[in-house]
């Protein structure tokens, strides 16, 4: 896991190239995925909607169970690191609309409902938990919806900032309970950050939309709590106000500032923290409990 995170830059560079030449009609797209890939589907759908495209994201499993809730999408964009997750292929088979697959698996070819496949093979990983495959596919969608000018500098920024991001995670609080909060494009990132800590280090962690936190979950806050607040560099007053309130309730609050095009750099410290917490608890980050590389039904 850790070696693969350190080598994230190659996958990001490939994602900028692939994203720059990816032409797909984005209107009416249903983004599908499972686990980490569903979190990414939410970020991609948010970026597409912000550009004015009708787009939504659903867990592939939800479409397998209730295809009617998918409505009538113009097309599907499936996200699957392995390119083998059964739920995704069953969902696409059911919907029978044009479909594009984003994967890191070079053995996957068009077929099984997918007419196009984008392969980020430089982001392939052996570790069971997703790290650089997630951030690379994120760079792909940021390139598509923000433009290559917004992401072309990311691989270099990664090389420059990676050691400092490791140190940042080392300096982050250790607590009995963690919350990761985010809004807009960072809501999916908050869910992924929480999943990383959960599946790798088995810690008590949840993610919420920041402004939803007052509507109940804040009851859980006390001195034993650390709250990570993903907040846009510009603006973010409403989100920061939540940070102020939970700090007054005794929580350790960590602000993680981001711009839309630097979201991958906001997520990586959580991948480092997951590894640090796991090894700190005597767990093997490369052998997460009850988790397989591919979920086949």
Euclidean distance between CA atoms 209 and 99, whole angstroms: 29
CB-CB neighbours of 218 under 10 Å: 18
**Which residue in 8, 14, 37, 143 binds ligand F1P (CB under 6 A)?**
37
**Residues 6 or more apart in contact with residue 295 via CB below 8 angstroms:** 34, 35, 85, 86, 87
Binding test (CB under 6 A) with ligand F1P, winner from 14, 56, 82, 151: 82
| Parallel/antiparallel/unpaired status of strands 99-103 and 177-182 | unpaired
Q: Give the whole-angstrom CA distance, residue 175 versus residue 162.
A: 24
Q: Which of 75, 85, 135, 183 binds ligand F1P (CB under 6 A)?
A: 85
Binding mask 115-154 for ligand F1P (x = CB under 6 A): -------------xxx------------------------
Say how far apart CA 49 and CA 94 lie, in whole Å. Answer: 24
By C-beta, is 35 or 236 nearer to ligand F1P?
35
Among 8, 14, 34, 200, binds ligand F1P (CB under 6 A): 34
Binding of ligand F1P at residue 291 (CB under 6 A)? yes
81 touches ligand F1P (CB under 6 A): yes
**Residue 281: CA count within 13 A, CB half-sphere:** 18
Taking residues 195 to 234 in sequence order and writing x for each that binds ligand F1P by CB under 6 A, - otherwise, the string is: ----------------------------------------
Exactly one of 4, 13, 19, 36 binds ligand F1P (CB under 6 A); that residue is: 36
Count CA atoms within 13 Å of residue 116 on its CB side: 15
Told to check if 35 binds ligand F1P by CB under 6 A, we report yes
Cβ-based burial of 33 (10 A; exposed 0-12, middle 13-18, buried ≥19): buried
The answer to whether residue 14 forms part of the interface with ligand F1P (CB under 6 A) is no
> Site residues (CB under 6 A) for ligand F1P?
34-37, 80-82, 85, 128-130, 291, 293-295
């Amino acid at each position: 896991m850790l070696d693969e995170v350190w080598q994230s830059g190659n996958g990001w560079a490939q994602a900028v190239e692939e994203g720059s030449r990816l032409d797909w009609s984005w209107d009416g797209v249903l983004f599908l995925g499972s686990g980490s890939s569903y979190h990414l589907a939410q970020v991609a759908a948010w970026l597409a909607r912000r550009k004015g495209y009708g787009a939504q994201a659903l867990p592939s499993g939800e479409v397998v169970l209730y295809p009617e809730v998918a409505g009538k999408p113009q097309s599907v964009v499936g996200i699957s690191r392995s390119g083998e997750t059964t739920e995704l292929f069953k969902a696409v088979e059911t919907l029978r609309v044009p479909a594009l697959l984003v994967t890191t698996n070079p053995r996957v070819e068009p077929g099984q409902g997918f007419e196009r496949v984008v392969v980020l093979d430089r982001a392939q990983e052996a570790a069971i938990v997703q790290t650089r495959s997630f951030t690379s596919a994120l760079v792909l969608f940021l390139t598509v919806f923000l433009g290559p000018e917004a992401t072309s500098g990311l691989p270099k920024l990664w090389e420059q900032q990676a050691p400092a991001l490791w140190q940042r995670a080392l300096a982050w609080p250790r607590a009995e309970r963690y919350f990761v909060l985010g809004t807009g494009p960072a809501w999916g990132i908050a869910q992924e950050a929480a999943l990383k800590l959960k599946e790798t280090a088995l810690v008590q962690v949840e993610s919420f939309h920041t402004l939803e936190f007052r509507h109940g979950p804040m009851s859980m806050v006390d001195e034993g709590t650390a709250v990570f607040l993903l907040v846009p560099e510009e603006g973010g007053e409403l989100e920061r106000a939540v940070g102020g309130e939970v700090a007054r309730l005794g929580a350790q609050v960590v602000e993680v500032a981001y711009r839309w095009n630097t979201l991958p750099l906001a997520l990586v410290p959580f991948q480092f923290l997951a590894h640090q917490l796991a090894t700190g608890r005597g767990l093997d980050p490369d052998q997460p409990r009850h988790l397989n590389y591919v979920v086949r039904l």
